[in-house]
Amino acid sequence: MKLAFSTLGVPGLPLPDVLRLATTHGYHGVELRAHPEEPVHPGLGLVERADVAASFKSAGVEILGIAGYAQVAAPGDDEPVLDEIRSLVSLARDLGAPFVRVFPGGGTEQSADEADATAARRLGTAARHAADAGVRILLETHDSHRTGADVTRILGTVGHRQVGALWDVMHTWLGGEPVTDTFAALSPYLGYVQVKDIASADDTTPLPLGTGTLPLAECVALLHQENWDGWLCWEYEKRWYEEAAPLSDSLGAGRELLTRLVTRTD
């Protein structure tokens, strides 16, 4: 398995500093949060995109994915959501990133069946653009669809290889879904896995990996047992929790922990 971290943990940090953190602490890749307040977002021009891709290539660090905020199950017109997804897919294509992250965002204004149908319709349409770009759209276990069972209701309907799943370990745990059940549901669709740690269901302030309550060891052991050889990405949500310790202070220890878990064979 390869290891990455998300720039959500170092909001607004210039890319040279992001790359320095990755290379210093031995991470193979970085997930780039695509938001206007970040150095990389869909508003970048072609020259700027080429410069970003070149800087990552020169550093020997991969761009794992583009973490967007499109909400595919949200009520409303399809076209604004599809435009947002297309812009993220085009950005990923130009940067050489294999994945784009999207959210469900079903909310409470519609039934679960309506939200599932809306998401499946939009993802099925967006899949054609993703296929042309050589990019895979990943629906994260999050908000209205936080478990693997929730997400696979949508993905099973879409049935397109360019649309898959992103497993956020915190959200499936908060949804009460056992790790084994999540993997069984998501394994046919799994793009990569987001790992993190928190104190409890009532306190989701990010903690250094291995110091909280999330079943990281169980999750990685299962992935190893099932011969899954993808990416583990540490999503440290510093952007939303100003009181959280700086991610840079824990990157080295986090990489060491993940490496031990990945290589454990007993």
Domain coverage including residue 160 = 2-263
DSSP bridge pairs for 166: 140, 192
The pLDDT value recorded for residue 109 is 85
Q: Collect all residues with Cβ–Cβ distance below 8 Å to 163 and sequence separation of at least 6.
A: 123, 124, 126, 127, 130, 136, 137, 138, 139, 155, 189
Which pLDDT does position 107 carry in this prediction? 85
Mean pLDDT, the chain, integer: 96
CATH of the domain at 154: 3.20.20.150
Q: Give me the number of domains the chain comprises.
A: 1
pLDDT digits (tens, 9 = 90+) for 58-105: 999 999 999 999 999 999 999 999 999 999 999 999 999 999 999 999
Q: What are phi and psi of 39, to 5 degrees?
A: -65, -25
Closest by Cα among 224, 249, 221, 223 to 236: 249
Residue 121 pLDDT greater than 70, yes or no: yes
Tens of pLDDT along 207-256? Answer: 999 999 999 999 999 999 999 999 999 999 999 998 999 999 999 999 99
